[in-house]
Copies of this chain bind each other. A is one copy, B any other.
């Protein structure tokens, strides 16, 4: 296998694919690390939406091989005094601005080391644009780390770092109240309620109902196809989260729902009782 020992460097940005920014980063990466296997995680993060990036990263990165380097440039604070962090989580490296984009990964993969970049010797004498650190700082940094620079040489472990506020579901009487956290391209509503909540607290106690924006779904299906054509359903998605969907339709349109909206789960006997 040694002959295929190409380092994997992934990119997650809000740069889109219409502009030269992603390609400029890739050029820089290949200039510094010609053997890099560059993989796009996502460039269609809506501009400046750190939470979207956090979600996408956390639902893709865990499937990559050990030693992969994940570079995240959703960075509205570029050029300000926000730090750049390099963290090792579950055997993989993450290079990201200190803006909370690591919030969800941190719940999924064990943190094994974190530094705040203070030593910029890896930049050599190159000029750094104050508005395009993706190309001028993140790419050379990823290449340097890929080429063997130890993260402990980059700077100290920060005393603290930013995390996004992602509230856990709460109980209101017998009702579990969570939120829609993500709407995917199929219009599926991914919620902050997870498999464990459902399996431990609702499944053993008979029928239950899930509601969002006035629309109601009873019980769980296993696959989309178990619901009728155009029929709403709930299931546990491939990441273990409660998801509202419509078979061959778009739940976000049917339910007129967006991220942030409330999702409630309650036993039927409780609702009726």
Contact = CB atoms under 8 A, between A and B. Distances in A.
B19 A39 contact: no
The quantity of this chain's copies bound in the complex is 3
A8, A43, A64: residue with the most chain B Cβ atoms closer than 10 Å: A64
Contact of A30 (B26, B40, B42, B65): B65
Interface string A186-229: 10000000000000000000000000000000000011111000
A113 B27 CA distance: 22
A34 B4 contact: yes
Interface in A39-60: 39-45, 47-48, 55-60
A28 B68 CA distance: 12
Contacts of A79: 222-225
Interface stretch (A124-132, A158-166, A264-272): A124-132
Contacts of A6: 4, 34-35
A63 B129 contact: no
A78 interface: yes
A223 B78 CA distance: 7
A131 B24 contact: no
A20 B135 contact: no
B65 A135 contact: no
Given A56-B19, A76-B224, A26 B39 contact: yes
A18 to B, nearest CB: 4
A235 B4 CA distance: 44
A38 B41 contact: no
A78 B248 CA distance: 11
A31 interface: yes
A260 interface: no
Contacts of A136: 238
A18 B185 contact: yes
A1 interface: yes
A207 to B, nearest CB: 21
A132 B60 CA distance: 13
Interface of A: 1, 3-6, 8, 10, 15-21, 23-28, 30-31, 34-35, 37-45, 47-48, 55-65, 68, 76-80, 129-132, 135-136, 184-186, 222-226, 235, 237-238, 248
